Amino acid sequence: MTVPFLDLNIQYQSIKPEIDKAIQNVIDHSAFILGKAVSEFEREFAAAHSVKHCIGVSSGTDANHLALWSLGVGPGDEVIIPANTFIATAWGATLCGAKPIFVDCEPDGYTIDATKVEQVITQKSKAIVPVHLYGQSADLDTLAEIANKNKLFLIEDAAQAHLAEYKGKMVGGLSEAASFSFYPGKNLGAFGEAGAVTMNNDQLAINLKMMREHGQSEKYHHEVLGHNYRMEGIQGAVLGVKLKYLKEWTEKRRTVAEKYKKLLGDVEQIVLPKEMPYAKHVYHLFVIRVKEKREKREERRNGLMRYLNENGVATGLHYPVPLHLQNCFKYLGYNKGDFPVSEELAELGLSLPMFPEMSDVQIEYVCDIITKFFMKQ
């Protein structure tokens, strides 16, 4: 049997007539940049996350940049982010000319360790950017308290967390602003690059709309500094169709996760993902952690990965090199051992196939291969 890591085609085929009609409508009206499809999606996505405004942009990375830039983050500032995240989170700071300051992740939910944030705050600190990693929210109340106490902006990176919840409230509106990604493999994925910034602040929304379109208040009238971060019409159309199914797809992801947990619950050699008491996890990724002694940190994880791949099961590594150990951030002066939880997850974590359309047969096969691997050890 072959089990893909995700299957975008099966999702497309399930809604093909609607998708094709929406794309054709954009083409028929030549509304290729922004336009009605984008504005309708923005309204619907904002409503889905109980937030006043959604500004569609050209990618999740651009959303990270715009969220910070629109709040005045710039050269000389410091932005606090987790070491355990995709590098686009850090680009939000660097593209503003600011300096990313890393913090370790906590050992159960893998999001930023809120207890360690205050230790790195300086006079140059301007913002805290928690990441709702793998589809689970960070500890926002604790982080908001720290941000308010130190007069810092709190900005959610919700790239992996569409429809995720924190204490019964939707992510995306629980901070100054939040960035989302609609990269094709995300829970809500476009047919190319796309992203969004959400917020409740009316003036911030006005500024962001101008900034995404060369700083224009109207054509050729540039009120503020900006960039070309506009969402394409076709992406807005695709996302508008898919959004109608997102709640259903999210519950299916949670069902897949529960089946994984049930079937792998007795495998003592792995640690399963933990849903934190304050969170509703949407399982963009299902990341297990292999238990192993320090001197063999990666050997067994890599062995399991090879065994799964040899038996037709695709896997992923999220993320094999923590940000503080990336070559591009050598200038920050971090060293191996600075963030042990993030480093352990990088060396022992393994992402299993996860998509809403996974069948019971596929889930059972993945779990059977994992069980067989450890029985052979």
Assigned domain for 208 exists = yes
Query: Would you place residue 292 in the very low, low, confident or very high pLDDT band (cuts 50, 70, 90)?
Result: confident
- The tens digit of pLDDT for each residue in 58-73 reads 999 999 999 999 999 9
Average pLDDT over residues 342-358: 97
What percent of the chain shows pLDDT beyond 90? 97
Query: What type of residue sits at position 108?
Result: D
- The tens digit of pLDDT for each residue in 210-236 reads 999 999 999 999 999 999 999 999 999
- Do both 347 and 210 map to the same domain? no
Structure tokens given for 134? 């793998």
Instruction: Say which residues have a Cβ less than 8 Å from residue 55's Cβ, sequence separation at least 6.
Output: 42, 66, 196, 197, 198, 199, 205, 208, 209, 212
Assigned domain for 3 exists = no
Query: Would you place residue 295 in the very low, low, confident or very high pLDDT band (cuts 50, 70, 90)?
Result: low
- Do both 224 and 286 map to the same domain? no
Which pLDDT score is estimated for 361? 98
- pLDDT at 331 > cutoff 70: yes
Of 191, 215, 241, the last residue of a domain is 241
- Do both 175 and 81 map to the same domain? yes
Average pLDDT over residues 246-256: 98
CA distances from 362 to 34, 216, 259, 338 (A): 39, 50, 11, 39
- Do both 74 and 49 map to the same domain? yes
Which pLDDT score is estimated for 104? 98
- pLDDT at 294 > cutoff 70: no
Of 192, 217, 241, the last residue of a domain is 241
State the Cα–Cα distance between residues 69 and 194, nearest whole angstrom.
18
Which pLDDT score is estimated for 257? 98
Residue 340's domain is classified under what CATH number?
A: 3.90.1150.10
User: Please, what is the average pLDDT of the chain?
Assistant: 97
- Do both 182 and 261 map to the same domain? no
Residue 136's domain is classified under what CATH number?
A: 3.40.640.10
Which pLDDT score is estimated for 293? 67
- Nearest 5°: the CA angle 369, 371, 372 is 65
What's the start-to-end Cα distance of the chain, in Å? 23
- pLDDT at 90 > cutoff 70: yes
What percent of the chain shows pLDDT beyond 70? 99
Assigned domain for 131 exists = yes
- Do both 70 and 156 map to the same domain? yes
Assigned domain for 39 exists = yes
- pLDDT at 200 > cutoff 80: yes
Assigned domain for 1 exists = no
- Do both 326 and 233 map to the same domain? no
- Do both 370 and 254 map to the same domain? yes
- pLDDT at 314 > cutoff 70: yes
- Do both 156 and 60 map to the same domain? yes
Assigned domain for 2 exists = no
Identify which of 44, 49, 68, 97 has the alpha carbon closest to the alpha carbon of residue 207.
68
- The tens digit of pLDDT for each residue in 265-289 reads 999 999 999 999 999 999 999 999 9
Strands 53-57 and 195-199: antiparallel
Of 241, 259, 282, the last residue of a domain is 241
- Do both 235 and 287 map to the same domain? no
- Do both 20 and 138 map to the same domain? yes
Average pLDDT over residues 109-136: 98
- Do both 302 and 215 map to the same domain? no
59 close to 71: Cβ distance less than 8 angstroms: no
Assigned domain for 43 exists = yes
Which pLDDT score is estimated for 120? 98
- pLDDT at 338 > cutoff 80: yes
Assigned domain for 36 exists = yes
Domain of 292 in residue numbering reads as: 246-375
- pLDDT at 299 > cutoff 90: no
Tally of domains within the chain: 2
Identify which of 139, 183, 138, 159 has the alpha carbon closest to the alpha carbon of residue 67.
159
- pLDDT at 377 > cutoff 80: no
